[in-house]
Structure 1
Amino acid sequence: MSNVAMNQAEASKASVRSWLAIVVLGIAMFTVVATEFAPIGLLSYIASDLGRSPATVGLIVTAYALIGAGSALLSAVLPNQFPRKPLLIGLMMVLAAANGLAMIAHSFPVLMLARVIGALSHGVFWAMVAALATQMAPPNRKGLATSIVFGGMSIANVLGVPLLNLIGQTWGWRLAFGTLVAACLFTALLMAIVLPQIKAEGSVGFATLGSVLRSGKLWRVYTVAIFTVAAHFGAFTYIEPYLRNVPGIAPAMIAALLFGFGAAGLLGNVLTGALIDRFMKPVIAVSLLLMCVSLIGLGTFGLSSGVWPVLALLVVWGTAISILFIGIQAWVLRTGGAAAIPASAVYTTVFNSSSGVGAILGAFVLNKAGLSSIMTLAGLVIVMAFTIVVLDRGVRKTS
């Protein structure tokens, strides 16, 4: 075999290993997101077992999001000399320990402690994983790598959380957390076997974090994220009571409609992977427009229509928000350049904070104006994000 053929064979093997490592990071994202949202479907069981109200137990979800938002900034200042592979494996082991502590918790304070520990790991992991995946991908496939990693998030929402809920209903909420322990350990093993030794590229540290926070270009991206994420969670947090008020939708149908929303998110993942590297600005702009139309549609005629119009609007919304979660993350990484990890860390903080703020604002609108107004207002907020994207000249296709 000639040297050229040998070099091509080695390059092909390296490419396969790189994409396999990116898929493993997607599996890791699945595990991390399933851990974050697992308690949502188990609140009543946990509350009954620990003798607390569901509202009190719900604090473990809010605290997790807020602590995860803060801990994400840690990844921005970790020295480049620190190997990323053992760090990722270590963070996954911490998450396994946190889920194990939650599984055996017999008091609310212990359960809260377990969630705090898990959130500290969660924020750092999420902030790093997409940047590291794009580092392993070819230059013209960074968007595809981001799509694969965030595909884990979509699958966690579509399959992981409902599966954990089913386990909790059938065998108890503790076994649901035990399942997460096993998932974390399995994921850590996969990362140990498949991931290469990754040394982070670019700049990190407090000085770089400061430059990220002063970047006007990045703050345009972050502002789009703030409007998009707040609008989404402000509306989606109250989607279940909204659907209960749609004519012709029985309570038993709500799960199927939500599954349709999640399945549309998987479609969004596929579309993003195919298009984001070549058409970043059009993909983001069109997705914002579609999300705006679907939300305003739900707000203006959804509660007076029926099953099929609402399902169609949910599918459009689910597809659009999945594309936007990936597209905005890819935009952050591209704009951040050498400071991709600190830029991603700030984005993770913005994302988690905006989701909490959106849910709070949604509750305020619900109390003042009702379910339809939540959807309409969320759609109008998306108009502001759309305007920023259209006017921004920095969102171009990747070369």
Structure 2
Amino acid sequence: MSQLMNTSNATGWRNWAAVSMLGVAAFTVVTTELAPIGMLSAIAADLDQNTSVTGLVVTLYAWLGAAAALLSVMTISHLPRRPLLVGLMLLLGISNAVSAASHSFTVLLIARLAGALAHGAFWAMIGTMGAQLVASNRVGRATAIIFGGVSTASVLGVPLINWISHDAGWRLSFGLLGLLSVATALTLAFSLPRVAGTASLSRNQFVSVLRNTDLRRIYLIAACGIVAHFAAFTFIEVLLSSELAIPQNWVVICLLAFGIAGILGNLLCGVFIDKHLKAVLSIGLLLVSLCLLLISTVTVKDGIIALLLLSGWGLGIAILFVGIQAWIIRLAGADALPASAIYAAIFNGAIGAGAMAGAGLLDHWGIRPLYLTAAITTLLSFILVIMIRTKPVRHAVTE
């Protein structure tokens, strides 16, 4: 049994409260990363930059966050988790505050890159926190709660921040994210129990993880699924408003349904993932692929149909986010921390790669070929899951 795994079969309510607060922190971190996607035009106009250059505040953030995830487990993983996570959230708050106050693109970019360092380190550390806080037979549920913040941020937090930006300016959006980061730091300071750090990792431990054939397959599944999702999701407003000509009020309703379905996906994961991880993940990937395929090939002009397709997509992608993390923890055993750090790097790198790939496909072939490509790539992830014949649980799980 991994030293990172809580082998007790009992988990107190305080630990579950801590898990919930980590979910809030995940929401804050991901909303901060993705918020500029819908504000690039406004930021570019205000800071006298073109939109492509301004996009660096998203792509460079993602790439630096990926590198920070790997470096952090080799340099700061020995630190106790509570002060470490609180400090990282405060750094994120400072990054958002400086971004809000910046009047030059250089200052904004530097502030964002400082936040990316906090972001990557945060993800590397919380990947295994569920296993450290709850009983071994409830790790999947805890992971669903923590990573519920990811899908909630993607489908509710980002649209909300963008709506605020549209009505009150992008600076207020960053300012509110700064306040949320500080408030989250305070809640973590009071809710997290004492969790010791682990020995700083060496390069050999990463090599050991990458030698695991099943983990390499899981990473490939994650990369394909996440790149496909963000390639399509980055341009979801273009799809709904321009290509499908959905009325604006239905656009808002569709995005809200996407978010609610994502939350439902996390709840379903919490119930079934500990016993049926592979089946649940397979269903989620197949659902995403099917919905993206229908969006790309069927002439959707009705708001109800668009709402149903986006709901299926939101449900499936939430399952993907949680299922991949839970599977990695189970397969990695004693190497859970480096394995999670590699996944965090892949996740952040895939966000940047997905946005860039989506922009390229959109410019050269249009929105429907973009969504068709995303559907096929997600289907590849599904096929890879089906091909993995080893059991996804290394440790015995008891009720």
Report the TM-score when normalising by structure 2. Answer: 0.90
Aligned counterparts of 2:209 and 2:66: Cα–Cα separation in 1: 16
Q: Which residue of 1 aligns with 2:308?
A: 312
Q: Are 1:220 and 2:213 matched, yes or no?
A: no
Equivalent AA in structure 1 for residue 258 of structure 2? F
SS of corresponding position for 1:51: coil
Residue 247 of structure 2 corresponds to which residue in structure 1?
250
- Post-superposition offset of 1:141: 0.7
Distance 1:158 1:383, change over 3 A: closer
CA distance in 2, matches of 1:22, 1:136: 7
Matches within 5 A, 1:185-264: 185-200=182-197, 204-245=201-242, 249-264=246-261
CA contact (8 A) 1:204 1:339 kept: no
**Shift, 1:158, TM fit:** 3.6
Q: 1:69 aligned to 2:66?
A: yes
Rounded Cα–Cα distance in structure 2 between residues aligned with 1:278 and 1:201:
28
8 Å Cα contact 1:389-1:395 kept in structure 2: no
Alignment deviations for residues 157-177 of structure 1 (CA, whole Å, 9 cap, x no partner): 343323323433343322222
Tell me how far apart the structure 2 counterparts of residues 394 and 203 of structure 1 sit (CA, whole Å).
30
Q: Please state how far the C-alpha of 1:65 moved relative to its aligned partner.
A: 0.8
Secondary structure at 2:127 match in 1: helix
Task: Identify which range, 290-299 or 357-366, moves more after superposition.
Answer: 357-366
- TM-score, normalisation: structure 1: 0.90
* Matching of residue 391 in structure 1 with residue 387 in structure 2: yes
Task: Give the Cα separation in 2 of the matches to 1:160 and 1:93.
Answer: 19
What is the Cα deviation at residue 144 of structure 1?
0.6
Aligned residue type for 1:134: A
Aligned pairs (5 A) from 1:13-24: 15-24=12-21
Q: What's the counterpart of residue 330 of structure 1?
A: 326
* 2:355 is the counterpart of 1:356: no
What pairs up with 1:102-141 in 2 under 5 angstroms? 102-141=99-138
Asked whether the equivalents of residues 266 and 322 of structure 1 are also in contact (C-alpha less than 8 Å), the reply is yes
User: Residue type of the partner of 2:279?
Assistant: P
d(CA) in 2 for partners of 1:366 and 1:92?
35
**1:166 to 1:314, Cα distance in 2 relative to 1, 3 A:** closer
How far 1:294 sits from its partner (Å)?
1.2
Gaps of 5+ in 2: 1-8
Deviates more, 1:361-370 or 1:210-219: 361-370
Measured after TM superposition, the shift of residue 241 of structure 1 is: 2.1
Change (3 A) 1:107 1:365: closer
Q: For structure 1, which segment, 169-178 or 182-191, has the greater mean C-alpha deviation from structure 2 after superposition?
A: 169-178
Pick from 80, 84, 99: which aligns with 2:81?
84
Deviations 1:224-280 (A, max 9, x none): 111111211222222222223455622443222122212211111111111111100
The 3 A distance-change label for structure 1 pair 248 and 80 is: closer
The SS at the match of 1:52 is coil
**Matched residue, 2:5:** none
| More divergent stretch after superposition (171-180 vs 343-352) | 171-180
- Structure with higher Rg: it is 1
Question: Which residue does the alignment assign to 1:27?
Answer: 24
**Offset at residue 333 of structure 1 (A):** 1.3
Aligned residues: 387
Given the alignment, which residue of 178, 181, 188 partners 1:181? 178
Q: State the distance in 2 between where 1:79 and 1:69 align.
A: 16
Distance in 2 of aligned mates of 1:395 and 1:360: 35
AA aligned opposite 2:318: S
RMSD: 2.1
Any unmatched runs of 5+ in structure 1?
1-10
**TM superposition shift of 1:70:** 1.0
Whole-angstrom CA distance in 1 between matches of 2:176 and 2:20: 21
